[in-house]
Amino acid sequence: MNSDSTTVNKKGVRQMFDDIAWRYDFLNHFLTFGIDIWWRRKAIQLISKKKGAVMLDIATGTADLAIALVKYRNPFQVIGVDVSEGMLEFGKQKIQELELTEQIILQQENGEALSFPDNSFDAVTIGFGIRNFEHPDKGLAEMFRVLKPDGELVILEFSRPNNPVLSHIFDLYFCYVLPHIGKIFSKHKTAYTYLPESVKQFPYGKNFEKMMQQAGFSKTLFRPLTLGIVTIYKGTKL
């Protein structure tokens, strides 16, 4: 991340998400035209159904993915973790309203230094969060550590279309339209400028799949969705 004044350093990500937590859900759905709900569902479909499974959702934010896990995979329990206390507070409110407090537990954690013992979870998920890690390789190593043998990791993250024309349209929207709208509604000067910059720097596709393999994951795969705007990654701990 460069030091430009319009840029948020990764070390300031926690504060940034605290500041925009009140508008986060609205802008997620508004700026993606609601497709983000479908993206999460497609990612969850890659998780094998396991009766009594315990799952970990890292960078859970306001718990959208954790809630979707309960809805579509009905695990015994989902623990959602995030560095942003502000995001977690909004997530807890949603969980209480949906009466899911027995199935979903939210707590503040650093995804690069998880407090859980080795071999704790049947599945680990992370939606639109891995690119915010200061050291994604450390995050992947932690995910591998806390997974049980045969446990599955599913990651959903923004990427870039390979088609040059689509890539140009994507850049116009992500770099100019999205930051302007985000600034108006979130009242935050840099949060939605940080988003396209972080996507540009993220090693998506085969490059990220290689990082997963280096962390120890097997049976890795990646599937672009919506013309390559986002990509689902999956790996298994053997």
Q: Annotated binding site for S-adenosyl-L-methionine: which residue ranges?
A: 62, 82, 110-111
Residue 47, helix vs strand vs coil:
coil
> Which bin fits 31, alpha (ψ -120 to 50), beta or left (φ > 0)?
alpha
Nearest-angstrom CA–CA distance, 114 and 81: 9
User: What are phi and psi for residue 126, nearest 5 degrees?
Assistant: -155, 120
Contact 158, 171 (CB under 8 A): no
Minimal CA–CA distance to 230: which of 11, 48, 10, 38? 38
- Which residues line the annotated binding site? 62, 82, 110-111
DSSP classification of residue 4: -
